[in-house]
């Protein structure tokens, strides 16, 4: 996990480690009251990422939205991506993530969205008004986020200093393949501590494949 520090005047204070790890078990840390994010860092197989990029180059815009269960999601994704080389690997991987998500939150189904993006969907820093959302970027630039002690919440969504420039050291960015849980303001006792995040700006002709899961 990453060690977190903050400077106050001439004093450097140590904060709790960020729940970021290469083990999937780190996702359970989202239940700790002090955490509003948990990130499972992973590297996808090169064959999988190559076939996903190939699909993005030739496919029509993808927008798959459905309530799914761990038992039915793989078959549904394979059907929707029939004919693309990434169909099997992507559907199996998403099924694994859905299974983990449903187990973690003790629910039988999840609200899934798998979509291609060619521009920032939510370009300003904001907080989701939901309990928790899983996000994973399979291709393209991934989600950007801020730690609580770097946030001026009064400026959220205004385009002012809460937006931070791309060169601002306080902004953090997930990597393609990472699986993250983002705690929102709808989480009990987290009304004023939801994770501040935004969609990344994309390069010319860049396409992004984004998976999100919501608690039903």
pTM (predicted TM-score): 0.85
The residue that leads in pLDDT, 181 or 7, is 181
Q: What is the pLDDT of residue 194?
A: 92
Q: Report the chain's C-alpha Rg in angstroms.
A: 17
For residues 49 and 137, is the Cβ–Cβ distance under 8 A?
no
Q: What is the mean pLDDT of residues 198-210?
A: 86
Q: How far apart are CA 106 and CA 100, in angstroms?
A: 10
> Does pLDDT of 166 surpass 80?
no
Average pLDDT, stretch 134-156?
Answer: 85
pLDDT at 164: 45
Mean pLDDT (the chain, rounded):
86
pLDDT in tens, 31-72: 999 999 999 999 999 999 999 999 999 988 899 999 999 999
Note the pLDDT tens digit of each residue in 177-199.
Answer: 999 999 999 999 888 889 999 98
Q: Which of 156, 173, 149 is nearest to 39 (CA)?
A: 173
Tell me what the mean pLDDT of segment 143-166 comes to: 64
Sheet holding 196-198, edge to edge: 171-173, 144-146, 196-198
> Do residues 38 and 19 lie in contact, with contact meaning Cβ atoms separated by under 8 Å?
yes
Is residue 36 within 8 A of residue 183, CB to CB? The reply is yes
The SS3 of residue 180 is strand
Distances (CA, A) of 151 to 12, 126, 162: 18, 10, 6
Say what the pLDDT of residue 11 is: 34
Q: What is the mean pLDDT of residues 165-185?
A: 83
The segment with the largest mean pLDDT, out of 126-130, 151-155, 188-192, is: 126-130
User: Could you tell me which residue, 165 or 66, shows the higher pLDDT?
Assistant: 66
């Amino acid at each position: 996990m990453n060690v977190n520090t903050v400077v106050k005047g001439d004093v450097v204070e140590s904060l709790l480690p960020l729940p970021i790890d290469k083990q999937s078990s780190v996702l359970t840390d989202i239940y700790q009251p002090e955490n509003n994010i948990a990130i499972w860092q992973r590297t996808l197989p090169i064959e999988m990422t190559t076939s996903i990029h190939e699909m993005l180059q030739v496919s029509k815009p993808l927008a798959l939205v459905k309530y799914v269960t761990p038992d039915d999601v793989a078959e549904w994704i394979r059907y929707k991506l029939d004919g693309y080389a990434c169909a099997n690997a992507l559907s199996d991987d998403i099924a694994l993530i859905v299974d983990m998500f449903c187990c973690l939150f003790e629910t039988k189904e999840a609200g899934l969205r798998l979509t291609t993006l060619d521009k920032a969907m939510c370009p300003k820093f904001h907080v989701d008004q939901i309990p928790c959302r899983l996000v994973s970027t399979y291709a393209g630039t991934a989600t950007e986020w801020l730690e609580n002690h770097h946030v001026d919440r009064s400026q959220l969504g205004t385009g002012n200093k809460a937006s931070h420039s791309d060169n601002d050291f306080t902004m953090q960015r997930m990597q393609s393949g990472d699986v993250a849980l983002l705690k929102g303001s709808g989480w009990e006792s987290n009304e004023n501590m939801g994770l501040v995040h935004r969609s990344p700006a994309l390069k010319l002709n860049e396409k992004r494949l984004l998976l999100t899961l919501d608690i039903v």
